[in-house]
């Protein structure tokens, strides 16, 4: 079922009418996306997305978190176990089938609002996603993703994106951003400094990330002083000198 055009508007008819008018006045404006959660490689390499599961399931932490919270094993969703690499991992079609069979769990969530809109508006799929329609959705989305008009840059242009900030860790080299600028594409994609991993001691990659940070900054990040007071302006491989040369940048707050 296609999503109702008034789905996010107030119930009261007077305020709903005002909401419709306000929405109509801006709905065709270019998109400014300062918190894109996107990978710069999409736009530097412009390679085709592979399948529905890799786009809408394995890459979406909100989808994974909700399903895993309801007892769905991550390997059934296509995510390999770190504590047991030998455990079988579902292939993309099987992962999508698992997602579709549990899609009812997303009723009333922002993820469901967004996914239903994407399925209907972008892919023309107006049936309900469930276990019976899983293969139809998977094949239809896969066929669309294989076409040139669904490459990352074409989608960027189709959605009228004027500014997009990707998500980049403290140790990302930003080479992909440089490749975008050198390609002559002419669209604005900037890095977002998101040092989430290096600020979260509970993250499984925390120690490795600090080791990378030490190499890039020349600081002893295994000491409190080196961790809290790095000297990135003197480290050629650290993002900040790159930013000062090429700019601009977005900064994300980790909580």
Round the average pLDDT of the chain to a whole number and report it.
89
Residue limits of CATH 1.10.2020.10 in the chain: 50-147
Task: Please say if the pLDDT value at position 28 is more than 70.
Answer: yes
Contacts made by residues 8-14, CB under 8 angstroms, sequence distance 24+: 8/113
64-73, 141-150, 192-201: range with lowest mean pLDDT: 192-201
Of residues 218 and 106, more confidence is placed in 106
- What is the Cα–Cα distance from 86 to 105, expressed in whole angstroms? 29
What CA–CA distances, in Å, run from 168 to 35, 38, 180, 194?
Answer: 11, 9, 15, 6
**Global pTM?**
0.85
- What is the Cα–Cα distance from 162 to 31, expressed in whole angstroms? 6
CATH superfamily name and code, 50-147: uronate isomerase, domain 2, chain A (1.10.2020.10)
**The predicted structure's pLDDT at residue 145:** 98
**The predicted structure's pLDDT at residue 233:** 45
235-246 pLDDT, tens digit each: 444 455 555 555
113-153 pLDDT, tens digit each: 999 999 999 999 999 999 999 999 999 999 999 999 999 99
DSSP letter (8 states) at residue 184: T
**The predicted structure's pLDDT at residue 235:** 45
């Amino acid at each position: 079922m296609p999503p109702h055009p008034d789905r996010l508007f107030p119930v009261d008819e007077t305020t709903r009418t005002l909401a419709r008018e306000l929405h109509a006045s801006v709905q065709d404006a270019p998109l400014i996306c300062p918190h894109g959660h996107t990978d710069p490689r999409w736009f530097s390499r412009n390679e085709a997305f592979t399948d529905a599961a890799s786009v809408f399931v394995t890459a979406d932490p909100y989808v994974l978190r909700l399903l895993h919270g309801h007892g769905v094993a991550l390997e059934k969703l296509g995510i390999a176990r770190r504590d047991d690499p030998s455990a079988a991992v579902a292939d993309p079609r099987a992962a999508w089938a698992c997602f579709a069979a549990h899609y009812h769990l997303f009723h009333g969530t922002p993820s469901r609002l967004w996914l239903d809109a994407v399925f209907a508006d972008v892919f023309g799929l107006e049936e309900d996603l469930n276990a019976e329609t899983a293969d139809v959705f998977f094949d239809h989305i896969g066929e669309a993703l294989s076409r040139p008009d669904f490459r990352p840059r074409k989608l960027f242009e189709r959605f009228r994106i004027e500014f997009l900030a990707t998500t980049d860790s403290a140790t990302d080299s930003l080479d992909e951003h440089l490749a975008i600028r050198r390609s002559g594409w002419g669209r604005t994609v900037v890095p977002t400094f998101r040092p989430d991993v290096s600020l979260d001691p509970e993250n499984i990659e925390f120690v490795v990330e600090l080791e990378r940070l030490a190499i890039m900054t020349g600081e002893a990040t295994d000491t409190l002083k080196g961790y809290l007071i790095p000297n990135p302006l003197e480290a050629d491989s650290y993002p900040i000198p790159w930013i000062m040369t090429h700019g601009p940048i977005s900064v994300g707050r980790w909580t």
